[in-house]
Amino acid sequence: MNADEFRRLGHQLVDWVAEYRERIEDRPVMSPVRPGEIRSRFPASPPADGGHLAEALALLEQDVLRGITHWNHPAFFAYFPSNTAYASVLADILASGLGVQGMSWQTSPAATEIEEVVMDWLRQMVGLSSAWSGVIHDTASTATLCALLCAREKASGFSQQDAGLQAGAPPLVVYASEQGHSSIEKAALLAGFGRSNLRLIATDAEHALDLLQLERAIETDRTAGRRPAAIVAAIGTTGTTAIDPLAGIAALAEQHDAWLHVDAAMAGTAMVLPECRWMWAGVERADSVVFNPHKWMGVGFDFSAYYIRDPEHLVRVMSTNPSYLRTAQDGAVKNFRDWHIQLGRRFRAIKLWFLLLDIGVEGLRARIRRDLENARWLKEQVDGTAGWERVAPVPLQTVCFRHVPLALADDESALAAHNLEIARRINEGGKAYLTPSTLKGRQIIRASIGSETTERRHVEMLWTALEEAARN
Amino acid sequence: MNADEFRRLGHQLVDWVAEYRERIEDRPVMSPVRPGEIRSRFPASPPADGGHLAEALALLEQDVLRGITHWNHPAFFAYFPSNTAYASVLADILASGLGVQGMSWQTSPAATEIEEVVMDWLRQMVGLSSAWSGVIHDTASTATLCALLCAREKASGFSQQDAGLQAGAPPLVVYASEQGHSSIEKAALLAGFGRSNLRLIATDAEHALDLLQLERAIETDRTAGRRPAAIVAAIGTTGTTAIDPLAGIAALAEQHDAWLHVDAAMAGTAMVLPECRWMWAGVERADSVVFNPHKWMGVGFDFSAYYIRDPEHLVRVMSTNPSYLRTAQDGAVKNFRDWHIQLGRRFRAIKLWFLLLDIGVEGLRARIRRDLENARWLKEQVDGTAGWERVAPVPLQTVCFRHVPLALADDESALAAHNLEIARRINEGGKAYLTPSTLKGRQIIRASIGSETTERRHVEMLWTALEEAARN
């Protein structure tokens, strides 16, 4: 393909994306296809000859789009907001077009230095002190794994440089709330702690980690000769956005010299609002923090912000230094390849740069406040309407509830079927998409608000749909 | 930003990328900036108000571009080819514009099913049997870590589900060539094997793993009660593209029930040529293979192809199944979140789909053959010119050599300084960019050929520049 053909097709695809976004409300939010339906539209083997790109564009429109669940739809209330703002799409055209590798400073100095700039801007925006150093990771799952690897190596006196974890010594224990994200369990198992050294601590009535239970678990482990290595505090759990008591957890972490990692994957974005920062009071006593601008903030996936207090420790855990990667500037600059698992690095920093120049910090704050108000409105409808039960506080943008008709009130399995059916009707109806989930054994429905395009009318529409689905 | 502004800026950026690529030869390949130079152009804090995106575009042109090392430049001979073909840039406009998450089938069925399709196309293209299942990873570093985690769990009888690696039991050992990529060492240390259980096996005169040394190392470990857990074979080492003796390694892996992982990160792309497949004879006896279409093939970073024979084992090592991720189709479909470390997934499959429809398998083969011929031409110049010494075979597209003037022939440190100076002159001269490296204690120069735009004239220009730099 030559440059002129690229120009022509590039304009066409930019227009396609714009039109897709403009008309997104006409489409069912959740893809209605059956398993195998999209795959069956493709030939079994790749084309021998080129020149078929026009066919891809036709197939995209006719078939592929039916297989898309529209995460940027204003009635997307499932999982978590995953906004890719227009400014971020534009930034990715540049990132792909430049096609640089940011593994070392030398391999593209601008990639490293713009990352330093925007990660420092972001640090200021969420109220973290200048004691933190930031790096872009792909996902919170990987960042949390890095945090637990840092914890493992700190607690074991750098076992990786010697005999590894087989050496014996006291077993190392990881603590997190039973409502913590699955990536914590995954990271603990991958890092080799073992399931029997992972403590998922019970939560209180508001689904936040119970500090007393944590303290008891640590005491039990210490008495048995085990070593508390890491505590993961969730600021905004995935299920209900519960806020773990960070200051109390930090005190325990300090007392037992355990690594404190803060998982604020979705909620971190809310910390751009000064009125939300009470939620992570104590964060300055943590060792690492992760949150995902690729969720609520509008930076397109993937872009996780990982902040660490002691980057030298991180680099010691992560770095290798072969001759083909050495450059004359090493020592004077940051080589971000040593700040995470991957070696290669995409030029992700442009996405946050473009987003902030386009909307500004105040524009972002206004949008986040709008979403919090929409969640409060939905919470009020649930609280004020007979037959609906709210099952968790709403500190952020997620409302968890269920419908409890009088006739089923004592029959938990009938209630579960009833609420699953409500969610199924909403989701298959195509007008909105939300997540059925379970919370401490009860079937619930989660509405996660925060798509960039979601206005009050979409939340009102969701509530009307819920009321209708519950009645029938 | 509204849709019309997106259209306008999108067209502008597409044109910018086209012009950047058209004029790329006017620019110095390696960025000439000093540390801190790009950072100093940015304000210390983010903008409070929006509407500043035009300033970003101006800054990009005036300042940022000087901080870019141009990986798509035809005279980029450093590190490895990292092509982002126009078709791949176009695909990324769609991936970003759609902004979907492919973590589960349900979260966007097309993302999962098109990935199944193109990973099966790719499998056929490189001559792997249908016994392999493919998944897109971000980088080979992460894929190799997954492979070693699979090996650890296989050899330890699923230690992660129990007490973790602390439990004692025989130490688990990992083997790789001393010329293997740094990601193998990194993965072994992160997976908790420990440096003292990592064997970097000596290589032969062609810099390939010495099979006899491997056999001896395994015997020594077994005698001492240690358990061989994994062997990593390199098909195309990073330093010199050496080809480890895969069939012999496979026999040893089978004999000792060790996991065999094949790292063909750069070279895997050459397997689209039937005449190259002798290089990985024996690959069907491996447990996992990784190679990077985001290197030589032209799929933009990031896109690593990971193939595994027993996906159930991989899923057992990687999966967690919390309620908020369960969907009605689980069991009937693939949920690729359980095939790697990350949960979130970008719609990467479109990049390979678009590339193949644009150039076809035969078009790709022609380009790879052109690069192999260019490398052979450079090899012939080195071999046929007095004063130059080739230090490694050239099975692929990388030529390793040094200049040995008669006057310095016996002075290794003077030779090192001389060759470093040659590389410095080339790189700082801006006309070409290659990597100074060391090979078994000797300072060498590596020329890695394979940028999509590199024609014979660019390699001829490099040779002229080398001759000039060596004379002065």
The answer to pTM > 0.80 is: yes
Residues 26-65 of A with CB under 8 A from B: 30-31, 33, 35-39, 42, 44-53, 55-56, 60, 64-65
pLDDT at A237 over 90: yes
Residue partners of A340: CB distance under 8 A and separation at least 6: A135, A137, A142, A143, A146, A306, A318
Q: Say whether A38 and B354 touch across the interface (CB within 8 A).
A: no
The span from the CA of A158 to the CA of A165, in Å, is 10
With CA atoms as reference, report the closest residue to B180 among B200, B210, B151, B204.
B200
pLDDT digits (tens, 9 = 90+) for B226-285: 999 999 999 999 999 999 999 999 999 999 999 999 999 999 999 999 999 999 999 999
Per-residue burial over B194-213, b if 16 or more Cβ lie within 10 Å, else e, is bebbbbbbbbeeebbbbbeb
Asked whether the beta carbons of residue B14 and residue A11 sit closer than 8 angstroms, the reply is: yes
Indicate the residue type of B78. Answer: A
| Residues 6 or more apart in contact with residue A266 via CB below 8 angstroms | A80, A81, A236, A238, A241, A291, A292, A295, A296, A396
- Mean pLDDT, rounded, of chain B: 95
Residues of A in contact with B335 (CB under 8 A): none
Find which of A341, A348, A442 to mutate to test the B interface (most B CBs within 10 Å of its CB). A341
- CA dist A152 and A174 (Å) reads 9
Nearest chain A Cα to B158, which residue? Answer: A194
Which single residue is written with the structure tokens 């960070």? A246
Tokens of B163: 């007490």
A453 touches chain B (CB under 8 A): no
Q: Say whether pLDDT at A395 is over 90.
A: yes
Distance of alpha carbon B437 from the chain centroid = 18
Query: What is B134-187 written as a DSSP string?
Result: EEEES-HHHHHHHHHHHHHHHHTTSGGGTTGGGG-SSPEEEEEETTS-HHHHHH
* Rounded Cα–Cα distance for residues A185 and B317 (Å): 12
- A121 and B189: CB-CB below 8 Å? no
Radius of gyration over alpha carbons of chain A, in Å? 24
Q: Residue with structure tokens 């590190």? A: B79
The region of weakest confidence among A232-241, A277-286, B153-162 is: B153-162
User: Which residue, chain included where needed, has tokens 């792309």?
Assistant: B269
Mean pLDDT across the stretch A236-258? 97
Which one is predicted more confidently, B165 or A454? Answer: A454
Per-residue burial over A242-279, b if 16 or more Cβ lie within 10 Å, else e, is: bbbbbebbbebbeebebbbbbbbbbbbbbbbbeebeeb
Residue-wise pLDDT tens digits, B190-238: 999 999 999 999 999 999 999 999 999 999 999 999 999 999 999 999 9
Interface contact A302, partner B, CB < 8 A: yes
Domain boundaries, chain B: 1-30+69-84+360-472, 100-346
Q: Does position B167 have pLDDT exceeding 60, yes or no?
A: no
Rounded CA separation B401/B439 (Å): 10
Strand order in the sheet with B288-291: B133-137, B304-308, B288-291, B259-263, B227-234, B172-177, B198-201
Contact A113 B172 (CB under 8 A): no
The pLDDT tens digits for A352-367 are 999 999 999 999 999 9
Mean pLDDT in residue range B330-342: 90
Confidence band, pLDDT 50/70/90 cuts, at residue A160: confident
Q: What digits encode the pLDDT tens for the residues A4-51?
A: 999 999 999 999 999 999 999 999 999 999 999 999 999 999 999 999
Average pLDDT over residues A277-305: 97
Model confidence at A100: pLDDT above 90? yes
* Domain B1-30+69-84+360-472, architecture per CATH: Alpha-Beta Complex (3.90)
Q: Which band of pLDDT confidence, cut at 50, 70 and 90, is reported for residue A161?
A: confident
Q: What residues in A contact B166, CB-CB < 8 Å?
A: 165-166, 168-169, 171-172, 192, 194, 197
Whether the upstream peptide bond of residue A302 has omega within 30° of 0, thus cis, is yes
What pLDDT does B165 receive?
Answer: 75
Best of A31, A195, A357, A425 to substitute, by most chain B Cβ atoms within 10 angstroms, is A357
Tokens linked to B330 = 């689980």
Give the count of alpha carbons within 13 A of B318, CB side only.
26
**Token pair recorded at residue A465:** 């749909």
Residue B17: per-residue pLDDT: 97
CA distance A261 to A138: 17
Question: pLDDT value at position A228?
Answer: 97
Q: What's the whole-number average pLDDT of chain A? A: 95
On the question of a common fold for B1-30+69-84+360-472 and B100-346, the answer reads: no
A355-471 CATH: 3.90.1150.170
Distance from CA of A90 to the nearest CA of B (A): 6
* Domain B100-346 classification at class level: alpha beta
Q: What was the pLDDT predicted at A168?
A: 63
pLDDT tens digits, one per residue of B58-105: 999 889 999 999 999 999 999 999 999 999 999 999 999 999 999 999
| Cβ pairs bridging A and B (under 8 Å) | 510
Using CB atoms and an 8 Å cut-off, which of residues 152-211 of chain A contact chain B?
Answer: 152, 159-169, 171-172, 181-183, 185-186, 189-197
Q: What's the rounded Cα separation, in Å, for the pair B174 and A164?
A: 12
pLDDT band at B166 (very low <50, low <70, confident <90, very high): low
Q: Which of A430-444, B10-24, B161-175 is least confident?
A: B161-175
Residue B168 pLDDT greater than 90, yes or no: no
Between positions 313 and 352 of B, the ones with CB within 8 A of A are 317-318, 320-325, 329, 332-333, 341-344, 346
Crossing angle of helices B86-98 and B349-384, rounded to 10°:
150
CB atoms within 10 A of CB B3: 17
State how far the Cα of B201 lies from the Cα of B248, in Å rounded to an integer: 14
